């Protein structure tokens, strides 16, 4: 059966298939600003377009996802999950809607196919099969950790093995939901729906433990824990670089030369920031206490990257002023090039 929901992400972003990562990012930011719900209140078409643009950027901005997408086209998701099972699952093949990614090993697939799943001790569920949907991506791991609340993946090594069977899942949040915290309903299958409170300050890679909501251990009939890993929808202005909340602030050449006082968006509103005279393109300024909250409630800093925006069109008066500045200039920015040698 041919997939009917395939989207050409390159066309969505309006870039060529050979576009660089920077070109993809620039196109996304332009389209995200254009269709952002804040810029189009009540416009459902703009909101749908914004989601489509965000979805395309999420795939094409990730080198691994983009590689699979370029190689397998509309079957890139199946190819990305089926290759791990080795037998009977060729990359690029249409599996008639069958999702191999619900099994962690090929043997689990064979066991269910032969009707041997869930034949352990009383209380066992149907093996380690899990359900997928567009917002939550579940995977049984057969391991459990003792972390409480939520933690970052990078803070810990591999969790210790225990007798219970834990379950892994990914959950996608908007920047607003992650910043303020949110209550989410998660469908675990078999008519089990749970409410999960995501505390304020979740970041990409944040790991949240939900006790007693993992898979059932066939030997003990006890449930392990569910671990949710957070990822964020792309934002048109904010992004993360490591643990830092970063934004790019365009300024004019005269503001860079003379300095200025400029309003800068932060997660909880606009603030006034002083731009020192003579600032360089790419230089970063720090807004202390205006960044992302940590699990203890304290706020980090927001880094503001300066981008000097050169005007593409000039009025007659502006051109005359720039021409006059050119004749009055006393410094040569390339004065030391004469000494450059290999």
223 φ, ψ (degrees, to nearest 5): -90, 140
Residues of the chain with pLDDT under 50: 1-4, 80, 82-98, 100, 103-107, 109-110, 113-163
Is the backbone of residue 261 left (phi > 0), alpha (psi -120 to 50) or beta?
beta
- CA separation for the pair 123, 164 (Å, rounded): 13
Q: What is the pLDDT of residue 121?
A: 34
Indicate where the chain has its CATH 2.60.260.20 domain(s): 129-235, 238-312
Residues 6+ apart with CB under 8 A from 133: 187
The answer to whether domain 238-312 has CATH 3.40.367.20 is no
Phi/psi for 134 (5° steps) reads -70, -20
Q: What is the CATH number of domain 129-235?
A: 2.60.260.20
- The CA-based angle 158-63-106, given to 5 degrees, is 55
Helices 21-35 and 44-60, interaxial angle, to 10°? 160
How far apart CA 243 and CA 301 sit, in angstroms, is: 10
pLDDT at 158: 39
How many CB atoms are located within 10 Å of the residue 302 CB? 24
The per-residue pLDDT for 267 is: 92
Please tell me the predicted confidence (pLDDT) of residue 186: 83
CB contact at 8 A, 279 and 257: no
Across-strand partners of 328?
A: none
Neighbours of 232 (CB within 10 A): 21
- Rg of the chain on CA atoms, in Å: 26
A 10 A CB-CB count for 104 gives: 19
């Amino acid at each position: 059966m041919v997939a009917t929901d395939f989207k050409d992400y390159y066309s969505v972003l309006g870039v060529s298939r050979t576009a660089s990562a920077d070109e993809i990012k620039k196109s996304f930011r332009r389209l995200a600003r254009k269709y952002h719900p804040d810029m189009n209140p009540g416009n459902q078409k703009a909101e749908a377009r914004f989601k489509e643009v965000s979805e395309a950027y999420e795939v094409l901005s990730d080198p691994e996802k983009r590689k699979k997408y370029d190689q397998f086209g509309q079957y890139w998701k199946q190819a990305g999950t089926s290759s791990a099972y080795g037998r009977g699952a060729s990359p690029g093949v249409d599996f008639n809607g069958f999702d191999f990614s619900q099994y962690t090993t090929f043997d689990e697939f064979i066991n269910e196919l032969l009707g041997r799943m869930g034949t352990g001790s009383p209380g066992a569920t149907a093996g380690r099969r899990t359900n997928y949907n567009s917002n939550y991506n579940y995977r049984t791991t057969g391991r459990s950790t003792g972390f409480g609340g939520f933690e970052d993946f990078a803070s810990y090594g591999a969790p210790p093995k225990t007798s219970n069977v834990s379950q892994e899942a990914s959950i996608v949040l908007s920047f607003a939901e992650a910043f303020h915290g949110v209550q989410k309903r998660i469908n675990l299958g078999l008519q089990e729906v749970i409410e999960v409170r995501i505390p304020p300050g979740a970041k990409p890679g944040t790991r949240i433990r939900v006790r007693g909501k993992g898979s059932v251990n066939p030997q003990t009939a006890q449930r392990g824990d569910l671990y949710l890993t957070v990822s964020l929808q792309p934002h048109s202005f904010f992004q993360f670089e490591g643990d830092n909340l970063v934004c790019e602030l365009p300024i004019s050449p005269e503001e860079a030369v003379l300095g200025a006082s400029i309003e800068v968006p932060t997660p909880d509103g606009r603030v006034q920031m002083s731009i020192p005279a003579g600032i360089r393109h790419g230089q970063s300024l720090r807004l202390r206490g205006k960044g992302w909250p940590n699990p203890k409630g304290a706020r980090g800093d927001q880094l503001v990257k300066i981008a000097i925006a050169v005007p593409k069109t000039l009025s007659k008066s502006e051109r005359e002023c720039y021409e006059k500045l050119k004749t009055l200039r006393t410094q040569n920015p390339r004065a030391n090039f004469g000494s450059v040698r290999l």
